[in-house]
Amino acid sequence: MESFDYLRAATVEGAVQTLAGGSGAKCLGGGTNILDFMKLNVEAHPQLLDINHLHFNKIESVAGAIRIGAGVRNSDLAYDSRILENFPVLSEALLAGATAQIRNMATVGGNLLQRTRCTYFRDPVWECNKRQPGSGCAALEGDNHGHAILGVSKLCIATHPSDMCVALAALDAIVEVQGPQAKRRIPIGDFHVAYGENPAVETTLKPDELILAVELPLQPLYRNSHYLKVRERNSFAFALSAAAVALEIKADRIVTARVALGGVATKPWRSSAAEQALVGQPVGEKTYAAAARAAVKGAQPQKDNGFKVDLIQRTICRALMTLEQRLAKTAAGV
Ligand code: SF4
């Protein structure tokens, strides 16, 4: 691990000034991701800017929305009564991620910037276009059973690792960031980028911008939501496939739907194709299977992960069936 200077930010303005100062400072929140990578020599930063004292660890009700400060810990968010009531998919996604100890440390801002778990990215002996642009991609010929089938490029096939971000994609979240001149509000779908020409670029956040908060619009639809994660072991494992779903059902027909996928794509993957296949259709397995087929249209499996094309379809179907049953029980007052 390379040595670095530790700085502590006292104000948001001061933090942004430091980020904009050209010293290569990186923010330190919970440290559950960045410190790992620095210890592995995957990343080296001359300065770490501790942002844990900026008082942005509040969950607040604002006009028509819930505003979650970037410093809120994943555990606090998962168990907040407003989240449990209005966005169960988010609570379920958070609790499916990592371990209790990590969730107690990890922040919302850090989770948004979580980097891939690709084995070859995490070990500097391998070629990796994301770690060292232009060096190649060891995963293309190596073990790629855990890699992506959606949003891949010839340069990188790594999956996005976050559960929380998949739920946020289904919930139409807005990410609020502060730059030196102004604030920006970035729809979650525009925050992460699929790895195209430069896999090292993962988000549209600029180096001099600080994530302030995530805003979730309050809509009845999001109360009817569910997260299902499939993994190789029951805890502390990243998703092989995951689905965040929300449904509004009237007279056994789907009126509105949200479907976002994890574990299979290079970014949290909102599937508008699956949503279109659901809306206007009767509830039931046949409709869910059609939506799942639409979700994998254009998938590009690698040599070891063809099974994910089936697995994600089953995950979508099961998530939708579970949600439908849950909603039917609630309507029946069971
Ligand atoms: Fe690197 Fe992406 Fe290839 Fe993994 S899949 S080795 S992160 S370029």
Q: What letter represents residue 59's amino acid?
A: I
Mean pLDDT of the chain: 97
> Which atom number of ligand 1 is nearest to the Cα of residue 126?
6
Q: Which residue has the tokens 């009700």?
A: 61
Q: What is the pLDDT of residues 16-58, one digit of tens each?
A: 999 999 999 999 999 999 999 999 999 999 999 999 999 899 9
> Which atom number of ligand 1 is nearest to the Cα of residue 140?
3
Q: From ligand 1's centre to the CA of 111, what distance in Å?
A: 20
Q: What is the pLDDT of residues 154-196, one digit of tens each?
A: 999 999 999 999 999 999 999 999 999 999 999 999 999 988 8
Q: From ligand 1's centre to the CA of 105, what distance in Å?
A: 27
pTM of the model: 0.98
| Protein residues whose CB sits closer than 6 Å to any atom of ligand 1 | 116, 118, 120-121, 128-130, 137-139, 156-158, 199
Q: From ligand 1's centre to the CA of 295, what distance in Å?
A: 24
Q: Give the pLDDT band of residue 197 (cuts 50, 70, 90).
A: confident
Q: From ligand 1's centre to the CA of 236, what distance in Å?
A: 22
Range with the poorest average pLDDT among 216-220, 312-316, 328-332? 328-332
Give the torsion through C-alpha atoms of 35, 36, 40, 45, to 10 deg.
-20
* Span 60-70, average pLDDT: 97
| Cα–Cα dist 207/230, whole Å | 34
> Which atom number of ligand 1 is nearest to the Cα of residue 138?
6
Strand partners, 41: none
Closest by alpha carbon to 9, among 48, 70, 53?
A: 53
Is 286:303 a contact under the CB 8 Å cutoff? no
Closest by alpha carbon to 316, among 299, 333, 291?
A: 291
Tokens of 97: 């991620």
Q: What is the pLDDT of residues 252-269, one digit of tens each?
A: 999 999 999 999 999 999
State which of 43, 116, 303 you would mutate to test the pocket of ligand 1, scoring each by most atoms of that ligand within 8 A of its C-beta: 116
**Closest C-alpha residue for ligand 1 atom 2:** 156
Q: From ligand 1's centre to the CA of 154, what distance in Å?
A: 10
Q: Give the pLDDT band of residue 137 (cuts 50, 70, 90).
A: very high
Strands 210-217 and 47-50: unpaired
**Closest C-alpha residue for ligand 1 atom 7:** 121
Q: From ligand 1's centre to the CA of 130, what distance in Å?
A: 6
What is the 8-class DSSP label of residue 114?
-
Q: What is the pLDDT of residues 297-322, one digit of tens each?
A: 999 999 999 999 999 999 999 999 99
Q: Give the pLDDT band of residue 235 (cuts 50, 70, 90).
A: confident
**Where does residue 179 rank: exposed (0-12), middle (13-18), buried (19+ CB within 10 A)?**
middle
Give the pLDDT score at 162.
97
Q: From ligand 1's centre to the CA of 62, what distance in Å?
A: 40
Q: What is the pLDDT of residues 279-294, one digit of tens each?
A: 999 999 999 999 999 9
Q: In this model, does residue 234 exceed pLDDT 90?
A: no
Q: In this model, does residue 61 exceed pLDDT 90?
A: yes
275-295 core/surface letters (b: 16 or more CB in 10 A; e: else): bebbeebebeeebbbebbebb
